[in-house]
């Protein structure tokens, strides 16, 4: 093995959190920082044109294209789980939705023994990142940060009909889902700047790329963490057929996500020693919680055919329209190609006794091709019922000690029967919205699940057969204060010096929304923890009766 290059900090994974870490740690020219990404540089035009996300969902080189293990409670199916394999990680291939989750989600983390992670503690880190074009500077938002947040300038007529329909049903309108509460319906906030995707790489790496103390390695597949006793000293990675070692004088930081980070720990011998021994991996530190606590959001669609040509669909009839939209984009950075197709949605408490929403209602002015795509063929529109707080949990385990072998990803979808009830209530709400007068001029027949599927048992069977991940895996390196956790509240791996995990795998419970914005926040807070800085002053707020209130 070639002699190791050495840096103060070695960051594994150039995704949503890793890019933030690379920027913040290298701000001090006295820190030498190495960022290692298994994928390529983010040069593809599909990444930078927002609508290009359609082509990225099953891209052969820019996406890991994972699948779950067979899900017995979901009709034995293997469900698709895309993850970005490129600088920027999943922020380079996702739907660009900026969403923090409910404030109570973070108070839950603190209540589990994670001091410093309540909503009042993390709000300043959300604000540090952002440049919010929509709301400017206020209690919940700020300007001047590196991550741009904007709203689309034009919307599909079906999207307008959706919000007119929710208004007519007296469902609350929510102008800012990232404020005092998330209940209600409205337009999306997006990580788009001047008509171009703003991934974590374009936001945080591009401004730092010229720093002499920052080294970026792409196409470096990290196999394991190097250990001397109970201290991390670097990493071993594969570049093509060559094995290389990178030494870390201070810390190794895993930011490879809820799939990559636990897999690297396990290949390093950090995990359940009995399971690792069966794969021929020597146990270096018995930590059984690694890979456990896998959680993800499950969703099931309601699809309607539409009468007109308004929907975004894939057909030869749409070709002239697409040419026109391409000209709009090239010459004005506007129109279809400047958007993400996911223009509006909402959060609802289908259980009125709940202290926060249990269903996210996504709306797509197109026929959803959920397994590995966004826009499908045919004219229509789709409601996507997303289960925000699943009780079902699973685990990530290795199938081989080979670094290139895909792990077993088992989220345990629908293994807890309680997960069906909110999804069924979400179905009934989606149908009420679709039958509102606002959709009369567009709506034809419901074709999935179809009008014949009405009873709870029929809808339950439909969910088993026609549901999928919305690609938010978290929790596999759980943060906590007990023996069932992997990292402590400072994100240090328990029992191993010089090793942290800083990404969504540290979430003890899944948040009620998309996970991109929380990943950036974790990167921001994690950078201060690594550098030993005092935390940002907590916001002068409290969460009372499920809503954030400013304190005097």
State the DSSP string of 407-435: PEEE--TT-SGGGHHHHHHHHHHHHHHHT
Cβ atoms of 464 and 472 within 8 Å: the answer is no
Beta strands in 240-343 (DSSP E): 242-254, 270-271, 285-286, 298-306
Cα–Cα distance measured from residue 371 to residue 402, given in angstroms and rounded to the nearest whole number: 28
**Side-chain half-sphere CA neighbours of 465 within 13 A:** 9
Neighbours of 545 (CB within 10 A): 7
As to burial, measured by CB atoms within 10 angstroms (0-12 exposed, 13-18 middle, 19+ buried), residue 328 is middle
Cα–Cα distance measured from residue 336 to residue 328, given in angstroms and rounded to the nearest whole number: 8
Q: Taking the alpha carbons of 44, 47, 50, 56 in that order, is the dihedral positive or negative? A: positive
Cα–Cα distance measured from residue 210 to residue 445, given in angstroms and rounded to the nearest whole number: 56
**Phi, psi for residue 435 in degrees, rounded to 5:** -90, 5
Active-site residue, from 102, 285, 297, 472? 472
As to burial, measured by CB atoms within 10 angstroms (0-12 exposed, 13-18 middle, 19+ buried), residue 331 is exposed
Which of 415, 493, 27, 418 is closest to 231 using CA atoms?
A: 493
Beta strands in 307-377 (DSSP E): 344-348, 359-364
State the DSSP string of 390-412: ----BEEE-S-S-TTSPPEEE--
Cβ atoms of 123 and 541 within 8 Å: the answer is yes
In terms of phi and psi (left: phi > 0; alpha: psi -120 to 50; beta: otherwise), the region of 184 is left
Catalytic annotation present for 131: no
Tokens of 435: 């039958």
Beta strand pairing call for 285-286 and 443-448: unpaired
Beta strand pairing call for 147-149 and 359-364: unpaired
Q: Taking the alpha carbons of 85, 86, 91, 93 in that order, is the dihedral positive or negative? A: negative
DSSP 534: P
Cα–Cα distance measured from residue 106 to residue 125, given in angstroms and rounded to the nearest whole number: 13
Rg (CA), the chain: 23
Cα–Cα distance measured from residue 177 to residue 182, given in angstroms and rounded to the nearest whole number: 5
Which of 268, 198, 267, 264 is closest to 231 using CA atoms?
A: 268
What is the set of active-site residues? Answer: 472
């Amino acid at each position: 093995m070639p002699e190791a290059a050495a840096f103060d900090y070695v960051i594994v994974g150039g995704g949503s959190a890793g890019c933030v870490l690379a920027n913040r740690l290298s701000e001090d020219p006295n820190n030498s920082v190495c960022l290692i990404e298994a994928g390529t540089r983010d040069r593809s035009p599909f990444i930078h044109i927002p609508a290009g996300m359609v082509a990225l969902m099953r891209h052969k080189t820019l996406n890991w294209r994972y699948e779950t293990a067979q899900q017995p409670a979901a009709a034995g199916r293997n469900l698709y789980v895309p993850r970005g394999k490129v600088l920027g990680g999943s922020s380079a291939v996702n739907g660009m939705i900026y969403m923090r989750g409910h404030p109570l989600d973070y108070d839950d983390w603190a209540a589990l023994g994670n001091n410093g992670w309540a909503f009042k503690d993390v709000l300043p880190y959300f604000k540090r990142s952002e440049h919010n074009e929509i709301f400017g500077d206020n209690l919940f938002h700020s300007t001047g940060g590196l991550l741009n947040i904007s709203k689309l300038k034009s919307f599909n007529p079906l999207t307008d009909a959706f919000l007119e329909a929710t208004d007519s049903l007296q469902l609350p309108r929510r102008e800012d889902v990232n404020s005092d509460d998330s209940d209600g319906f409205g337009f999306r906030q997006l990580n788009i700047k001047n008509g171009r995707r703003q991934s974590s790489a374009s936001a945080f790496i591009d401004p730092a790329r010229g720093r002499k103390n920052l080294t970026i390695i792409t196409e470096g597949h990290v196999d394991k963490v190097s250990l001397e006793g109970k201290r991390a000293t670097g990493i071993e990675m594969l570049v093509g057929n060559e094995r290389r070692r990178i030494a870390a004088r201070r810390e190794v930081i895993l930011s490879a996500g809820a799939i990559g980070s636990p897999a690297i720990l396990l290949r390093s011998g950090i995990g359940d020693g009995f399971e690792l021994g069966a794969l021929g991996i020597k146990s270096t530190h018995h930590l059984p919680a690694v890979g456990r606590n896998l959680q993800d959001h499950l969703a099931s669609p309601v699809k309607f055919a539409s009468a007109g040509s308004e929907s975004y669909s894939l057909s030869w009839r749409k070709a002239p329209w697409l040419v026109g939209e391409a000209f709009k984009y090239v010459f004005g950075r506007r129109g279809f190609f400047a958007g993400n197709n996911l223009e509006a949605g909402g959060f609802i408490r289908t259980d009125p006794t709940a202290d926060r929403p249990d269903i996210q209602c996504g709306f797509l002015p197109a026929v959803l091709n959920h397994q590995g795509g966004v826009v499908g063929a045919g004219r229509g529109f789709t409601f996507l019922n997303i289960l925000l707080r699943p009780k079902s949990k699973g685990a990530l385990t290795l199938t081989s000690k080979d670094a290139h072998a895909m792990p077993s990803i088992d989220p345990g979808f629908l293994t807890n029967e309680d997960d069906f009830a909110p999804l069924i209530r979400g179905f009934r709400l989606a149908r009420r919205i679709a039958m509102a007068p606002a959709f009369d001029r567009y709506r034809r027949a419901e074709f999935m699940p179809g009008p014949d599927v009405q009873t709870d048992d029929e809808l339950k069977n439909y969910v088993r057969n026609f549901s999928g991940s919305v690609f938010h895996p978290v929790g596999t390196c759980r943060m906590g204060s007990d023996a069932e956790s992997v990292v402590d509240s400072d994100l240090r791996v328990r029992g191993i010096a010089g090793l942290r995990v800083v990404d969504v795998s540290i979430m003890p419970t899944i948040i009620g929304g998309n996970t991109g914005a929380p990943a950036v926040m974790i990167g921001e807070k994690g950078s201060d923890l690594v550098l030993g800085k005092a935390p940002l002053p907590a916001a002068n707020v409290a969460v009372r009766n499920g809503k954030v209130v400013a304190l005097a």
